[in-house]
Amino acid sequence: MKLAVFVSDYRLTVDTLDRLNPEKLGIILVQNGVYHATTKENGKPSSLLNKSASYYALIDDLETRGLGNADVADNVKVISYSDIVDLIFNEYDKTAWL
């Protein structure tokens, strides 16, 4: 199964994602979840970014919080709403929201 997971909260613990075992995992950071792509925890990237997954952050939510492409970790791709639609219909079989 190819699973896209929307993460909308910054306080999410990674153990929820650890229980998932898809063949392909995409993590789409939206709303306050975009802070995972930009905030350092003790000088290190968010522990959420340590999973074997493709990472995406919604540009609209970054800009709403005064952030941009330059603030995002290297392994996170900045995308638009239309990119999310393309991902859901072309790359992933199922979606979940955390």
Q: What is the pLDDT of residues 32-86, one digit of tens each?
A: 999 999 977 777 788 888 888 999 999 999 999 999 998 999 999 999 999 999 9
Order of strands, sheet of 94-97, starting from the edge strand that comes earlier in the sequence: 76-79, 54-58, 24-29, 2-7, 94-97
| Confidence at residue 13, expressed as pLDDT on a 0 to 100 scale | 63
Range of the domain at 56: 2-97
Maximum Cα–Cα distance across the chain = 37
CATH number at residue 64: 3.40.1260.10
Tokens for 57, please give them: 């952050």
The residue behind tokens 């306080």 is 11
Lowest average pLDDT, out of 3-7, 14-18, 24-28, goes to: 14-18
| Range list of β-strands (E), 1-98 | 2-7, 24-29, 40-41, 44-45, 54-58, 76-79, 94-97
Strand, coil or helix: 60: helix
Give the total number of structural domains in the chain: 1
| Confidence at residue 27, expressed as pLDDT on a 0 to 100 scale | 95
pTM of the model: 0.91
